C-alpha cells in the first residue's frame, strides 16, 4: 500500500497546484492592481476575459476536485481492508490514476481534441478497479 499512499499524496499535491497557471493568467489579464484588490471593477458581470487555455485549465482543475473524493475513498477503503484487495494492483491503479490525471490536465488546458475524454476515462477506470476489489 506504500505505492498507493505515494500516488494518493501526489494526486493531492497536484490538485492543490493545478490552480496556479490560471491564477497567474488572471494576474496578467486583470493587472496587478485589480488582482491585489481581489476583483476588477464590475466583477463578475464585467470580468476581463481570460485566455481560452486558462478557462480550460480551470475546468480541468474543477474536474479533478470533483473526482478526487472518489479516488481518496477507494484508496482509503482498500488500505482499511487489506485482506480484500491486491495491494500491488491498488498501487498500480493509483499510479495510473495520477498519470492519467496529469495527462488529462495538459490535454484539457491545451485543447488537444479527442484525448480529454479517454484520459479521464482511464482515471475513472482506475478508481473502479480499486472499488470493485472491495465488493
pLDDT for 116-133, tens place per residue? 999 999 999 999 999 999
Largest CA distance in the chain: 58
Give me 44's grid cell: 463578475
Neighbours of 24 (CB within 10 A): 12
Label residues 50-78 b or e (16+ Cβ within 10 Å = b): beeebebbbebbebbeebbeebeebbeeb
pTM for the full model?
Answer: 0.90
pLDDT at 20 over 80: yes
Output the pLDDT for position 43: 75
Q: Which residues contact 86 (CB under 8 A, 6 or more apart)?
A: 133
Topology classification of domain 2-16+51-133: 1.20.120
Q: What is the mean pLDDT of residues 108-123?
A: 96
Output the pLDDT for position 112: 94
pLDDT for 22-67, tens place per residue? 989 988 988 888 778 877 777 777 778 889 999 999 999 999 999 9
Output the pLDDT for position 125: 98
Output the pLDDT for position 56: 96
Residue 111 DSSP one-character state: T
What is the per-residue DSSP string for 49-114?
PPPHHHHHHHHHHHHHHHHHHHHHHHHHHHHH-GGGS-HHHHHHHHHHHHHHHHHHHHHHHHT-TT
The structural domains of the chain, with segments of one domain joined by +, span 2-16+51-133
Distance CA 14, CA 22 (A): 14
Amino acid at each position: 500500500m506504500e505505492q498507493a499512499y505515494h500516488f494518493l499524496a501526489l494526486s493531492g499535491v497536484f490538485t492543490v497546484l493545478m490552480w496556479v497557471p490560471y491564477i497567474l493568467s488572471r494576474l496578467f489579464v486583470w493587472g496587478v492592481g485589480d488582482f491585489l484588490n481581489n476583483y476588477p471593477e464590475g466583477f463578475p458581470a464585467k470580468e476581463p476575459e481570460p485566455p481560452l487555455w486558462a478557462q480550460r485549465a480551470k475546468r480541468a482543475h474543477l474536474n479533478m476536485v470533483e473526482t478526487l473524493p472518489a479516488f481518496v475513498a477507494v484508496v482509503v477503503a482498500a488500505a482499511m481492508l487489506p485482506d480484500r484487495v491486491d495491494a500491488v494492483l491498488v498501487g498500480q491503479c493509483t499510479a495510473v490514476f495520477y498519470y492519467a490525471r496529469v495527462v488529462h490536465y495538459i490535454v484539457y488546458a491545451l485543447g488537444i481534441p479527442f484525448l480529454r475524454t479517454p484520459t479521464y476515462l482511464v482515471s475513472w477506470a482506475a478508481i473502479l478497479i480499486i472499488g470493485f476489489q472491495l465488493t
